[in-house]
């Protein structure tokens, strides 16, 4: 801190000290505000255009304020079904991915074993693979179960092909596992091991220790991972587009409808999902804050 | 002894279900796609796969036929990554070092776009940049800066703009993590040892970077062609000059010796990781090119999805997808070789 004062003085022999002072004080701050505003603009546009009464079939140009779309948010053929499918896929996919991913994360952090680094890298690769490749490869294998040997004779038809709800869920679990592993791992890494050792010293077996000590402590990480998985799942378009066949999720429905029209209902549902998601995060942050306070007041 | 052996199996048992899922629905599908990429036939006629045929023509032919789309993907993805870095680094730096009590809120705002649908965000840009949208009504109608027939939607500018927006959080978050980790005591030590402003160096570095970025944008977005072949070199020079002046000013004013000698080098692994994590999804995207671009701005992703989902031409589509995948695996392998896997995979215990 003491070094700062001579630095500012010696800094600018003649070269516009006032400009420098302005830059030091404001440039980064203004830039940050502008960058955050840039990130917010499309969200604001979405919310504003949910109140539009567009001229013509596409909700691209502002015409007139209206509450019509909010009054009938599902009043489009197929939209309600698509939304329901999205929610169902997200719930089922999140539960499966969270369980599978949490188990992997526990193994990776708590045990040292042969192949751990390789597993870390292997978990990372699906996250680094473009969604289009994930989707395309899944489509390849699903189609192959109906057309190619040896799959054709081993796998009964109807499980993976024709595509549908099941294949969407399989795909969503696949791409979510890695995100769950990384999120839960981050939580377990900063984890007080001595609490578990204390429990074991006091006679608890591993099973009791896990449920009484480990699980409550990593629960916030698991909840965070599940929230992330849910939001990735409900928003996914590219992979779902390859694995959904004739079934629509909400994003796939938008992609289909935008060839002919774009009703403001799309913006209404987008806004509703946004508000629910933000509310969910606010609640989880609040719960977590409360949780950490409770831990903090416990005698160490 | 048997107890020891069974305990040793615990981590493998814990991982088994998840890894099996990834094996069946990530590894096996990619092998099948590799087989399709060397096959002949269509969905209707059935596919003849290796070992009966090894059709490498799918690769050589599609590289030649879709070279324009590959170029588009690399140029648009690359420009978007550069723009994401230019916006993302100062933003991540500001949040990490100057965020104070706003840090968590700022991080939340960075990921807030993820709470809306990817498609709706893209549609929002179509509204904003549209011919009757707010940007052109200011720049074109009110200020008269561009000709009446100027549009943004349908041009590379819109596609790159959309990609930059979509993948900016992918850049900011890893950068934030790596800048946050920089030991503040090292910076204080540098300042105690008379690391002051880096005026001349900052100006030169900023000018070079600024000129490079503006020339890359002008050429990459195809605005060099608008003015005609004769004026093109002059236009490139002008873009470079503008970039150099702006970059030099910002670099000279903001880059200190402590930053360039301590903070930036320490954050470099994060810079590479963030760039890879931004470039990869940008490279494979087709939504922005479809909703914001025109047939001329189609990327590899557009061809892959069209061939797979509309034309059912699996061999060509699989070959294209595999070329994309192979390029990315090479990039990751190079990164892991040079810098290790810690930064990318979120570290090992």
CATH code: domain of residue A200: 1.10.3720.10
Interior CA angle at A213 toward A207 and A214, to 5°?
75
CB pairs under 8 A between A and B: 287
Q: Does B91 touch chain A (CB under 8 A)?
A: yes
Residue B110 has pLDDT above 90, yes or no: yes
pLDDT at B77: 94
Is B280's CB within 8 Å of A128's CB? yes
Please, which residues 224-253 of chain A have a Cβ atom closer than 8 Å to chain B?
A: 231, 235, 237-238, 241-242, 250-251
Q: How many CB atoms lie within 10 A of CB A85?
A: 21
Q: Any alpha helices (H) in chain A, and if so which ranges?
A: 4-11, 17-22, 28-49, 68-71, 79-110, 116-128, 131-147, 151-154, 165-189, 193-201, 206-209, 215-235, 238-243, 250-257, 265-297
In B, which residues are within 8 Å of A250 by CB distance? 117
Of B116, B127, B317, the CB nearest to A136: B317
CA B338 to chain A, closest CA, distance in angstroms equals 15
d(CA B158, CA B171): 19
B347 pLDDT tier (thresholds 50, 70, 90)? very low
Residue A142 has pLDDT above 70, yes or no: yes
Range of lowest pLDDT (A198-212, B64-78, B111-125): A198-212
Residue A153 has pLDDT above 50, yes or no: yes
Please, which residues 51-90 of chain B have a Cβ atom closer than 8 Å to chain A?
A: 87, 90
B343 pLDDT tier (thresholds 50, 70, 90)? low
In B, which residues are within 8 Å of A229 by CB distance? none
In B, which residues are within 8 Å of A101 by CB distance? 18
pLDDT at A299: 42
d(CA B327, CA B346): 22
For residue A46, being part of any structural domain is answered with no
Q: Does A187 touch chain B (CB under 8 A)?
A: no
Average pLDDT over residues A272-291: 82
Of B109, B304, B308, the CB nearest to A39: B109
Residue B348 has pLDDT above 60, yes or no: no
Is A121's CB within 8 Å of B346's CB? no
Q: How many domains does chain A have?
A: 1
Q: Nearest to residue B123, comparing CAs of A115, A49, A200, A104?
A: A49
A7 pLDDT tier (thresholds 50, 70, 90)? very low
Is A141's CB within 8 Å of B25's CB? yes
For residue A280, being part of any structural domain is answered with no
pLDDT tens track for A70-127: 998 898 889 999 999 999 999 999 999 999 999 999 999 888 888 888 999 899 889 8
Of A108, A112, A274, the CB nearest to B116: A274
Residue B161 has pLDDT above 90, yes or no: yes
For residue A73, being part of any structural domain is answered with no
d(CA A291, CA A14): 55
Q: How many CB atoms lie within 10 A of CB B33?
A: 24
Is A141's CB within 8 Å of B28's CB? yes
In B, which residues are within 8 Å of A122 by CB distance? 19, 22
In A, which residues are within 8 Å of B132 by CB distance? 60-61
Q: Does A181 touch chain B (CB under 8 A)?
A: yes
pLDDT tens track for B295-338: 999 999 999 999 999 888 889 999 999 898 887 778 778 777 77
Measured CA distances, B342 to A56, B156, B270 (Å): 53, 35, 10
**CB-hemisphere CA count at 13 Å for B327?**
19
pLDDT at B48: 80
For residue A69, being part of any structural domain is answered with no
Interior CA angle at B162 toward B158 and B164, to 5°?
115
Please, which residues 97-116 of chain B have a Cβ atom closer than 8 Å to chain A?
A: 98, 106, 108-110, 112-116
Q: Does B127 touch chain A (CB under 8 A)?
A: yes
Is A132's CB within 8 Å of B325's CB? no
| Bridge partners (DSSP) listed for residue B47 | B41
Q: Which domain holds residue A197?
A: 89-265
Please, which residues 206-265 of chain B have a Cβ atom closer than 8 Å to chain A?
A: 250, 253-254
Residues B40, B315 contacting (CB under 8 angstroms): yes
Of B109, B123, B196, the CB nearest to A11: B196
- Write down the mean pLDDT value for chain A: 86
A11 pLDDT tier (thresholds 50, 70, 90)? very low
Nearest residue of chain B to residue A262 (CA atoms): B123
Q: Does B348 touch chain A (CB under 8 A)?
A: yes
d(CA B113, CA B90): 19
pLDDT at A3: 41
Residue A9 has pLDDT above 70, yes or no: no
For residue A112, being part of any structural domain is answered with yes
For residue A48, being part of any structural domain is answered with no
Residues B2, B16 contacting (CB under 8 angstroms): no
pLDDT at A10: 44
pLDDT tens track for B16-48: 999 999 999 999 999 999 999 998 887 777 788
For residue A44, being part of any structural domain is answered with no
Residues A89, A249 contacting (CB under 8 angstroms): yes
Residue B51 has pLDDT above 90, yes or no: no
Range of lowest pLDDT (A50-54, A190-194, A253-257): A190-194
pTM score, whole prediction: 0.87
User: Omega before A150 cis (within 30°)?
Assistant: yes
Query: The complex's ipTM?
Result: 0.87
A148 pLDDT tier (thresholds 50, 70, 90)? confident
For residue A43, being part of any structural domain is answered with no
pLDDT at B46: 78
Range of lowest pLDDT (A287-296, B188-197, B219-228, B311-320): A287-296
Highest mean pLDDT among A72-81, A207-216, B160-169: B160-169
Q: Does A100 touch chain B (CB under 8 A)?
A: yes
| Higher per-residue pLDDT: A145 or B347 | A145
């Amino acid at each position: 801190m003491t070094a700062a004062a001579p630095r500012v003085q010696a800094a600018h022999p003649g070269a516009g000290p006032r400009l420098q002072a302005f830059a030091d004080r404001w440039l980064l701050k203004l830039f940050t505000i502008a960058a955050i505003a840039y990130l917010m603009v499309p969200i604001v546009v979405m919310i504003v255009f949910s109140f539009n009464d567009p001229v013509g079939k596409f909700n691209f140009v502002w015409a007139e304020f209206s509450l019509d779309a909010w009054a009938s948010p599902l009043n489009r053929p197929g939209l309600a079904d698509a939304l329901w499918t999205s929610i169902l896929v997200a719930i089922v996919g999140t539960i499966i991915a969270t369980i599978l991913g949490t188990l992997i994360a526990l193994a990776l952090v708590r045990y040292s074993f042969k192949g751990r680094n390789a597993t870390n890298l292997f978990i990372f690769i699906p996250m680094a693979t473009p969604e289009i490749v994930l989707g395309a490869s899944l489509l390849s294998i699903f189609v192959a179960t109906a057309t190619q040997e040896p799959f054709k004779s081993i796998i009964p038809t109807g499980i993976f092909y024709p595509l549908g709800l099941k294949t969407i869920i399989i795909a969503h679990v696949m791409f979510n596992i890695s995100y769950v592993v990384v999120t839960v791992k981050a939580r377990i890494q900063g984890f007080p091991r001595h609490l578990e050792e204390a429990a074991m010293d006091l006679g608890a077996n591993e099973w009791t220790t896990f449920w009484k000590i480990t699980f409550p402590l990593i629960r916030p990480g698991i909840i965070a991972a599940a929230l992330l998985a849910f939001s990735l799942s409900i928003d996914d378009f590219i992979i779902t587009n390859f694995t959904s066949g004739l079934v629509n999720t909400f994003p796939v429905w938008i992609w289909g409808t935008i060839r002919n029209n774009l009703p403001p209902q799309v913006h209404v549902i987008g806004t509703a999902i946004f508000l629910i998601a933000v509310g969910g995060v606010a609640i989880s942050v609040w719960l977590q804050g409360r949780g950490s306070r409770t831990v903090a007041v416990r005698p160490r | 002894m048997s107890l020891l052996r069974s305990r040793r199996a615990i981590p493998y048992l814990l991982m088994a279900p998840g890894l099996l899922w990834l094996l069946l629905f990530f590894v096996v599908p990619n092998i099948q796609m590799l087989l399709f990429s060397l096959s002949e036939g269509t969905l209707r006629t059935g596919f003849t796969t290796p070992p009966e045929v090894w059709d490498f023509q799918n690769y050589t032919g599609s590289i030649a036929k879709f070279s324009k789309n590959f170029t588009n993907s690399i140029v648009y993805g690359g420009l978007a990554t550069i723009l994401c870095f230019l916006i993302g680094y100062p933003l991540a730096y500001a949040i990490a070092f100057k965020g104070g009590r706003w840090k968590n809120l700022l991080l939340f705002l960075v990921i807030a776009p993820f709470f809306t649908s990817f498609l709706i965000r893209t549609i929002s840009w179509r509204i904003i940049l549209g011919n009757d949208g707010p940007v052109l009504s200011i720049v074109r109608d009110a200020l008269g800066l561009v000709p009446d027939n100027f549009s943004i939607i349908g041009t590379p500018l819109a596609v790159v703009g959309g990609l930059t927006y979509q993948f900016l959080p992918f850049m900011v978050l890893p950068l934030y993590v790596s800048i946050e980790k920089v030991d503040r005591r090292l910076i204080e030590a540098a300042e105690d040892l008379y690391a002051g402003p880096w005026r001349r160096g900052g100006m030169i570095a900023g000018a070079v970077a600024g000129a490079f970025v503006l020339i890359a944008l002008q050429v990459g977005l195809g605005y060099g062609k608008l003015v005609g072949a004769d004026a093109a070199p002059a236009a490139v020079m002008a873009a470079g000059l503008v970039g150099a002046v702006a970059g030099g000013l910002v670099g000279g004013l903001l880059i200190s010796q402590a930053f360039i000698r301590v903070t930036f080098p320490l954050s470099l692994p994060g810079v590479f990781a963030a760039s890879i994590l931004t470039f990869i999804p940008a490279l494979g995207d087709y939504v922005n090119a479809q909703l914001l671009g025109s047939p001329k701005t189609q990327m590899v992703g557009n061809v892959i999805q069209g061939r797979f989902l509309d034309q059912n031409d699996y061999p060509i589509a699989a070959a294209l997808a595999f070329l994309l995948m192979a390029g990315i695996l090479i990039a990751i392998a190079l990164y892991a070789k040079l810098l290790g896997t810690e930064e990318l995979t979120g570290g090992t215990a």
